[in-house]
Structure 1
Amino acid sequence: MDIKSNSFFYIFISVVLLLIAILQYDLWFSNTGFIKYQALKKSVISQQKEVKHKSQTNVQLYSEVVSLRQNSEVLESLARENMGLIKQGEVFYSVK
């Protein structure tokens, strides 16, 4: 009976170790595992930075739109600088 209980013990330990190995593999390498979690976490952080940057850009653009709507002089200045527009009767000189 000693041999029988001894072999049962080894089989039991082998099964437990196999289950632990399977669970560890699942923990680290499955689609819901730790490595996938770390990759997704990096992706989320990167996307949050991008969203923050785009939000800041949107705020700047919005303030520019507001100033263009409220002040026609700013609009005229931008049109003259960026598009080379001139008023009737004016002469444009380009100095390089």
Structure 2
Amino acid sequence: MMRLFTVLLLLILGLAQYRLWFGQHSITDYWNKQDELRSQALSNQELEKRNRLLKADVTDLQQGFDAIEERARNELGLIKQDEVFFRLFSQSDNTEKMHDK
């Protein structure tokens, strides 16, 4: 009787070990998921880096457009449609311009 009980316990232990190592949701599945997780984390880091660069490019373009528009207004006197542009000169600016000519 004791021998049968020992064999039965060893059989149950063997089945549990088999499931632990080779069954669904086993240790090997866990290790594979860990590898996938590391790979995905690296991919996410690369994508975050790319997104930061793209965001910086967008910001530069947005600010760059404003800077270009401001320069065109100040240096070239360009205006938008339906806009009136006034340039005011002080008296000292006029006298300096007259002496430069």
Q: Shorter-normalised TM-score: what interval?
A: 0.5 to 0.7
> In the alignment, what sits opposite 2:60?
67
Which secondary structure state, in structure 1, belongs to the residue aligned with residue 60 of structure 2?
helix
In 2: Cα distance, 1:20 partner to 1:46 partner: 35
TM-score norm. by structure 1 comes to 0.66
Q: Does 1:48 align with 2:41?
A: yes
In 1: Cα distance, 2:7 partner to 2:67 partner: 80
Structure 1 range deviating more: 42-51 or 64-73: 64-73
TM-score norm. by structure 2 comes to 0.62
Q: Does 1:15 align with 2:17?
A: no
Letter in 2 for 1:72: F
Offset from partner CA, 1:25-78 (integer Å, 9 cap, x none): 111111211000000010011001100110010000100111011113999xxx
Q: Is the 8 A contact 1:68 1:74 kept in 2?
A: no
> In the alignment, what sits opposite 1:31?
24
Unaligned runs of 5+ in 2: 69-101
Identical aligned pairs, as a percentage? Answer: 24
Unaligned runs of 5+ in 1: 1-7, 76-96
Offset from partner CA, 1:72-94 (integer Å, 9 cap, x none): 3999xxxxxxxxxxxxxxxxxxx
In 1: Cα distance, 2:67 partner to 2:30 partner: 50
Q: Post-superposition, which runs of at least 4 consecutive aligned residues in structure 1 deviate over 2 A?
A: 72-75
